[in-house]
Chain A
Amino acid sequence: MELLPTIWFIAIAVLWTGYLFLEGFDLGVGMLMKTFARNNTERRVLLNTIGPVWDGNEVWLLTAGGATFAAFPLWYASLFSALYLPLLVVLVALIFRAVAFEYRGKVDTDRWRARWDWAIALGSFFAAFGIGAALALTTTGLPLNANGDREGGPLAWFSGYAVLGGLAVVGFSLVHALAFLALKTDGDIRHRARQWFVRLLPVLLLPIAAWALSIQFMEGKPWTWAAVVLAVAAAAAAWAQARTGAEGKAFLALGAFLVLGTVSIFGAVYPVVLPSTLDGAFDLTISNASSSDYTLGLMSIVAAFGLPLVIAYQAWTYWVFRRRVSADSIPEAHSFLPAVAAKAFTTKG
């Protein structure tokens, strides 16, 4: 066993888990903007539950990408170039989504808001779907040649696993968002989120369970099978807790489901990071795709201090903004438009 590459394989699994755990709910909240929220006030409640934190959550993706580049350059190069078009979709989705959060409230018209609401909903959906597809394909394989380059043209990556992975992350994000909303809001939204969670959890977690299981059938080890069983138990616990109204416990149980799920998937494929569907000899593994021990050692030292620090101050952020948001706490849309403001001022005076 190679110690440093293994540590970094685990580190990258941790980063992806952190990403899916944190941005999972804000991607889900984004998708719920058009389905769950019924009016502008509810949409603003949704937005403000993730307002202070979504940007920090997204950095987990950048860090996962950057860490893959630094620790496993060949994995990064092959995966990102082979999935050129799907990742382009992810990028465009993330761009519109980010800008939409910030710009949605900046012009006070329904048309303006409706456009950015679509940008948030579709951006969240395609980002989740694309990232899920990429993650699934790195576990099931891509048509890579000896140099690690994709054979077969721009769509050669496409397979059932791409769709399954896409649905897995979309489904998980939605469930996770409902659990999060039940925890972070008050009033009608909180009640409804819990209802939806209980009703939809069994369906929405099916794709991710199917992905985890198919990986187990291909590459499973006894302990990763055990992780799958525990994950299912955690999902059942989340469901049961939500039914009794224990929102915090339901959220944590769902988090445990995610952790166990990624453990089972990443654990099963280890030590392969990206299999080639053309020839097993072309598989990228933690040994042939990794950086030197010197680089990995340096990164390990920095990450050993840096990552706990990140987790600490991000946790503090959640503590600062721990209060539930409800429709009553949403202020009026401010009419900062100078013309409008001037008019309001003159009619009053």
Chain B
Amino acid sequence: MDALEIARWQFGITTVYHFMMVPLTIGLGLVVALIQTAWHRTGKPEYLRMTKFWGKLFLINFIMGVATGIVQEFQFGMAWSEYSRFVGDVFGAPLALEALLAFFVESTFLGLWIFGWKQLKPGIHLACLWVAVIGSVFSAYFIIVANSWMQHPVGVEMVDGRPVMTDAWAVFTNNTALVAVPHTLFGALAVAGGFLLGIAWYHLWRRRRDGVDTLGADGKVIPGESATIPGRDKADHTVWIRSLRIGAVVAMISFAGTALTGDLQGKLMFEQQPMKMAAAEAACHDGTGFSVLSIGNLGSQNCDDIVALIEVPGILSYLAKGDFTTEVKGVNTLLPEYQEKYGTNLPDNPIYGERAGQEIDYLPVMEVTYWGFRMMIGFGGLAALAALVALWLTRSGTVPRSPWLMRLAVLGIMAPFGANAAGWIFTEMGRQPFVVAPNPDPNGIDQVFMFTAAAVSPGVSAGELLASLITLTAVYAVLLVVEVKLLVKYIRGGVVSAMPELAHVPADENEDATPGPGGQGGGKPADDVLAFAY
């Protein structure tokens, strides 16, 4: 592997990893904010418990997103200095604005939320969480504006070989970004939905296994209380069944949202990056059919090796154009078009290193695009379907006793994560060999593009990149183990793990001891210095 390939692996690994934490942060943040709002309005203790429990998991995850996010901003300059030089005038601005207008808000107000349970009035405390969550949505917007400019450059003109921003409005309202932002936000909510559903299912199952909850003659649940297990009271049952239902509904709504926005996005991509979509289909020849299963050697990068085994006629045309008859261009048609427009060989420029003058392969790695596209849709759909089934199975007010269903529900947490990762890998790998894909709009700026081969830092050695690839991958692996262990520990502990006071108070006094939204009670004096302590 040379420097370019190592740098690409590093960007891929660190970004996919970072984007495991991000959707959970955004999605769970929204859900916790809604739950705390419900508590603020109703004062019902189960909402406080849900806020505390899901809030705790939210924070364990949030910090990993923060920690791995710094790498993202630094590595453009470290590993991709030529890219940074080329795009800096337009790409740097959304990044800087993300830090200035979103990260500051997110981190500062989340700090206020974590530590301010007693120092702030309840309404202001709740508002802090909302401000932080809105900050995280803004950060998604800014970073997707930056990414969308790489997918579809707008609002610039070339000056001395570099794109220079001439129309900020065009950059910040890039249609690619306007559909990618809701798509990403729904994807994040899908992650939160599956997370709530799986974990709530586990606790309801434990309550049944331990004989706390039983089924009555009418088939409805009879919530019970455990004398020995702290926190396993009747309110606890409400916590989990409500969490489960919220999770399932969120999962279904967000799948519908990703499908609708994904459809819009697909139609744009057929115009903006036809090769990406042809590669997503492994479609060699022009046609109208959507491939359900293609066999053959996708990796050979040779169209003649691929046979579409099952095809649904008309669907591809619908995905691309909204009708069932328009022929969609296949790889064999597109390749000569790309070669004519953007050249057959990389320029003889020292910036390409050993690759200077090499033939350009305009076809993305089809194994990745074809399966990435299908995994995204498949995992997303599976999660939504599972959510629907889960609602049906829990209509009695609790879950079936089957340990296998419980395991399936917990395993199902992974599906939306998989869909998110697959979608991003698809769209980023599908952009290759460009790091900044050309905008094919005839009125647009056709000559603003950059090959990935030109983007890597010329002064950085393969050895340095390898050192960082190994270091970061090892650190990330260790931290993933730690994070998952902590999450599992807190999940197993249930609400008590986030509200230790529940373990020390007899169950029937719980509701009196619970501080209401009015800020009363809570046992500790109001001048207590630390509402929360590290």
- The interface of chain A, by Cβ under 8 A from chain B, is 44, 47-48, 51-56, 58-59, 61-63, 65-67, 69-74, 76-85, 87-88, 90-92, 94-96, 98-99, 101-107, 145, 147-151, 153-154, 291-292, 294-295, 298-299, 302-303, 306-307, 310, 313-314, 317, 320-321, 323-326, 329-331, 334-338, 341-342, 344-346, 349
Contacts and interface: CB of A to CB of B under 8 A. Distances in A.
B100 A302 contact: yes
Given A62-B73, A94-B70, A302 B78 contact: no
A85 B68 CA distance: 17
- In the A-B complex, the 6 residue pairs with the smallest Cβ-Cβ separation, listed nearest first, are A73-B88, A80-B77, A70-B92, A149-B459, A66-B96, A77-B81
Contacts of B230: 341-342, 345
Contact of A88 (B59, B468, B493): B468
A91 B70 contact: yes
Contacts of A147: 458
Contacts of B99: 59, 62-63, 65-67
Nearest to A66: B96
B164 interface: yes
A66 B100 CA distance: 9
B164 A294 contact: yes
Nearest to B458: A149
Contacts of B324: none
B95 interface: yes
Contact of A81 (B81, B97, B168): B81
Contacts of B307: none
A312 to B, nearest CB: 11
B234 interface: no
A336 B77 CA distance: 43
Most-contacted residue by chain B among A95, A313, A329 (CB, 10 A): A95
A291 B89 contact: yes
A314 to B, nearest CB: 6
A117 to B, nearest CB: 12
Contact of A84 (B468, B493, B504): B468
B174 to A, nearest CB: 15
B15 to A, nearest CB: 14
B486 A106 contact: yes
A320 B119 contact: yes
A39 B504 CA distance: 27
Contacts of A325: 529-530
Contacts of B496: 336, 338, 341
29 contacts: A51-B533, A56-B108, A62-B99, A65-B99, A66-B97, A67-B96, A69-B92, A70-B88, A71-B92, A76-B77, A76-B84, A77-B84, A85-B467, A102-B63, A106-B60, A149-B81, A154-B463, A302-B97, A306-B97, A310-B108, A313-B109, A317-B108, A324-B529, A329-B529, A336-B500, A341-B496, A344-B504, A345-B228, A349-B227
Nearest to B101: A306
Interface of B: 59-60, 63-64, 66-71, 73-74, 76-79, 81-82, 84-85, 87-93, 95-101, 103-105, 107-112, 114-116, 119-120, 159, 164-166, 168, 227-230, 457-461, 463-465, 467-468, 471-472, 475, 479, 482, 486, 489-490, 492-494, 496-498, 500, 503-504, 528-530, 532-534
Given A51-B534, A80-B78, A85-B468, 19 more contacts: A44-B533, A48-B533, A58-B70, A58-B107, A59-B99, A66-B97, A66-B99, A70-B92, A73-B92, A84-B465, A91-B472, A98-B66, A101-B63, A107-B489, A149-B81, A291-B165, A295-B93, A310-B108, A336-B496
Contact of A55 (B107, B120, B168, B532): B107
A36 to B, nearest CB: 17
A145 B350 CA distance: 14
B110 A55 contact: yes
Contacts of B475: 92, 95-96
Contact of A80 (B81, B107, B472): B81
Nearest to B70: A94
A137 B81 CA distance: 18
